[in-house]
A and B are shown apart, each in its own frame.
Chain A
Amino acid sequence: MLRLENVSAGYGSFQALFDVSLEVNGGESVAVIGPNGAGKTTLLRVISKLLPASAGTVSMEGWPLNDVPAHQVIARGIAQVPENRRLFPKLTVEENLKMGGFLAAARARYAERLEFVYSLFPRMKERRAQAAGTLSGGEQQMCAIGRALMSGPKLLLLDEPSAGLAPVVVQAIFGLIRRICAEGYTVLIVEQNIRQVLKVVDRAYLLETGRIKTSGAAATLLASDEIRKAYLGL
């Protein structure tokens, strides 16, 4: 579904990604794991066109995204849950969700999708008239995921869903992500909470200093010595 081929990118003269290739197939949940500063967020910014790739191609369902501006990426079926949620703090929860379905194509199915998001996150329904900025961290994450789902995406990008959340909330959020995967969404997660994320996804890529170091089935990686020693401290 999503394919990156030899993608390089950076900020000014600083190169953050080198020759990254990866693939996400329909129905799959894939994680990109790695330590701080490995280039994970940069990778997502390239996919969502907030940052241009200096080399290589990104394609969605066979169509290259090279000339697609940032605001049209979502029309190709890619919705993003940005790091630190990036909700619209002064709008209410429901207005935030409404904005997620901003695309003309999504507006027709607004009521139906809102119902779906509320069934997934009943808490959001309780809080729908509240300003999003006043939600707790976990609730904000739910709202951000809900907002992304409102466009009816084919592929959901999650950037560090565990960032800034208490451990018990992180557990709950990963539980929700597992449910979203079970609903049949294709998901690409970028995450440094490696132990947790590998329990949720099917496959993973390990990104280190801008390069893909290794990849494989989540269970294999979780059991591999390399990951256990370097990242899980076992």
Chain B
Amino acid sequence: MNKARWIGLALLAAAPLAGMGDYPLHLIILCLLWAFVYTGWAVMGRLGMVSLGHGAFLGVGAYVVVMGWNHFHISPWLGLPLALAATAALAFLIGYPCFRFKIVGHYFALVTLALSEVVRLIIIALRDYTGGSLGVTPKTALAKASWSLSAMQFSSKLVWFYVILMVWLAGLWIWTRVDRSMSRLALEAISQEEDAAASIGMSVTRLKLGVTMVSALMTCVGGVLYAQYQLYVNPESVSGIGISLQMVFGAIAGGMFVRLGPTVGAVFTLLLAEGLRLTIGHDIHGLDATIYGLMLVLFIIFMPKGILGAAIEAYEKRRRAPRVAPA
């Protein structure tokens, strides 16, 4: 199993060198990027903290860096820690009161839902700086060269592929670290019996806040990378309800309780989105969101462990089941 994992990774890393076209490579990069973001969401989502507001962190990541670069000429490398700090502050602002006053379940989801909309509306309201709903392009540093390290701009998709591959691997590593930590067990305990958890010395607020921070900061990094890779962001694509729900959908569809679940979810969502785009186009406004919503409901009812989670479960069941002799 371990061997298969390394071979798979080597194949993935070598794939672009085989000379695939730009479009397939672009799709792979987006898959890995969203896989990282969904993994970040699942870090807290799987522990009973379902956030419908992660678009806020994505938007803060993307816009802080682009605004810093366009208006203050701050390199994205400096913009990144600024964006992380802003995200941490925002996550604290929303998380602390929620956890302190035991806002859980649906109520927590509703609070976070508002958060992502607030960020989207702020971006639109500051249209003089942000370009409003038309979006914004980071000032190009690629006029004379094909890449600029200080501006974090690379015209080569190959560079982005390897950068984002590393980030995705780091995301899986963080997921594993959280999974094996005492905090994960503690948070599962908290999501099952909150008072009992407090009585054995678990600081519910602090533990929840810690995982929320990890999750929010990962999402923020995803936003930064998205903006720098696409070299264009608009409020709809990085904040607001739409993208927030897409994260929830991706993580749940793929399976948020297994490490590669969100990644499978990202592949699935992207194929679905591209498939819809190619077959139906953009003619029917809102159709994609409707289909996502419908499928999310179906997944939650029929496949709550997601595609990968259900597949693993079926495999284990078959392996464990005694062989029935043919009659």
A interface residues with partner B (beta carbon < 8 Å): 48, 50, 69-75, 79-80, 82, 86-91, 95-96, 98-100, 102-103, 106, 147-148, 151
14 additional A-B pairs beyond A87-B196, A88-B192, A102-B200, beta carbons within 8 Å, are: A50-B198, A69-B203, A71-B198, A79-B200, A80-B199, A82-B195, A86-B195, A87-B193, A88-B188, A95-B185, A96-B189, A99-B185, A102-B186, A147-B200
**Which size bracket describes the interface of B in this complex?**
10 to 19
A103 and B201 contact, Cβ closer than 8 Å, known pairs A91-B188, A91-B189:
yes
Interface residues of B in 164-212 (CB under 8 A from A): 182, 185-186, 188-189, 192-193, 195-204
A31 to B204, CA, bound (A): 30
Minimum Cβ distance to chain B for residue A72 (Å): 7
A75 to B201, CA, bound (A): 7
Asked if B188 contacts A90 (CB within 8 A), the reply is yes
Minimum Cβ distance to chain A for residue B180 (Å): 13
Asked if B192 contacts A71 (CB within 8 A), the reply is no
Contact of A90 among B186, B192, B200, B203 (CB under 8 A): B192
Minimum Cβ distance to chain B for residue A48 (Å): 5
Asked if B196 contacts A71 (CB within 8 A), the reply is no
Give every chain B residue within 8 A of A99 (Cβ-Cβ). Answer: 185-186, 189, 197, 200, 202
Smallest CB-CB separation from A74: which chain B residue? B201
Asked if B200 contacts A148 (CB within 8 A), the reply is yes
A106 to B195, CA, bound (A): 20
Asked if B199 contacts A48 (CB within 8 A), the reply is yes
Give every chain A residue within 8 A of B204 (Cβ-Cβ). Answer: 71
Asked if B186 contacts A50 (CB within 8 A), the reply is no
Smallest CB-CB separation from A147: which chain B residue? B200
Asked if B202 contacts A71 (CB within 8 A), the reply is yes
Contact of A88 among B189, B201, B203 (CB under 8 A): B189
Smallest CB-CB separation from B206: which chain A residue? A71
A211 to B196, CA, bound (A): 26
Asked if A71 contacts B201 (CB within 8 A), the reply is yes
Minimum Cβ distance to chain A for residue B196 (Å): 4
Asked if B199 contacts A50 (CB within 8 A), the reply is yes
Give every chain A residue within 8 A of B199 (Cβ-Cβ). Answer: 48, 50, 70-71, 73-74, 79-80, 82
A86 and B196 contact, Cβ closer than 8 Å, known pairs A71-B204, A102-B202, A151-B201:
yes
A106 to B200, CA, bound (A): 11
Give every chain A residue within 8 A of B188 (Cβ-Cβ). Answer: 88, 90-91
Asked if A71 contacts B203 (CB within 8 A), the reply is yes
B interface residues with partner A (beta carbon < 8 Å): 182, 185-186, 188-189, 192-193, 195-204
A13 to B192, CA, bound (A): 30
Asked if B196 contacts A88 (CB within 8 A), the reply is yes
Q: What are 30 A-B interface contacts by the 8 Å CB criterion?
A: A48-B199, A50-B195, A69-B203, A70-B195, A71-B198, A71-B201, A71-B204, A72-B201, A73-B199, A74-B200, A74-B201, A79-B200, A86-B193, A87-B193, A87-B196, A89-B192, A90-B188, A90-B192, A91-B189, A91-B192, A96-B189, A99-B185, A99-B186, A99-B189, A99-B200, A99-B202, A100-B200, A102-B201, A103-B201, A147-B200
Give every chain B residue within 8 A of A73 (Cβ-Cβ). Answer: 199
Smallest CB-CB separation from B195: which chain A residue? A50
Asked if B198 contacts A88 (CB within 8 A), the reply is no
Give every chain A residue within 8 A of B197 (Cβ-Cβ). Answer: 88, 99
A103 to B203, CA, bound (A): 10
A150 to B115, CA, bound (A): 41
Minimum Cβ distance to chain A for residue B188 (Å): 6
A95 to B184, CA, bound (A): 11
Smallest CB-CB separation from A45: which chain B residue? B195
Smallest CB-CB separation from A89: which chain B residue? B192
Asked if A88 contacts B182 (CB within 8 A), the reply is no
A96 to B193, CA, bound (A): 11
Smallest CB-CB separation from B189: which chain A residue? A88
Smallest CB-CB separation from B193: which chain A residue? A86
A91 to B47, CA, bound (A): 13
Give every chain A residue within 8 A of B195 (Cβ-Cβ). Answer: 50, 70, 82, 86
Minimum Cβ distance to chain B for residue A77 (Å): 11
Minimum Cβ distance to chain B for residue A15 (Å): 21
A197 to B31, CA, bound (A): 63
Minimum Cβ distance to chain B for residue A87 (Å): 7
Asked if A82 contacts B196 (CB within 8 A), the reply is yes
A73 to B197, CA, bound (A): 12
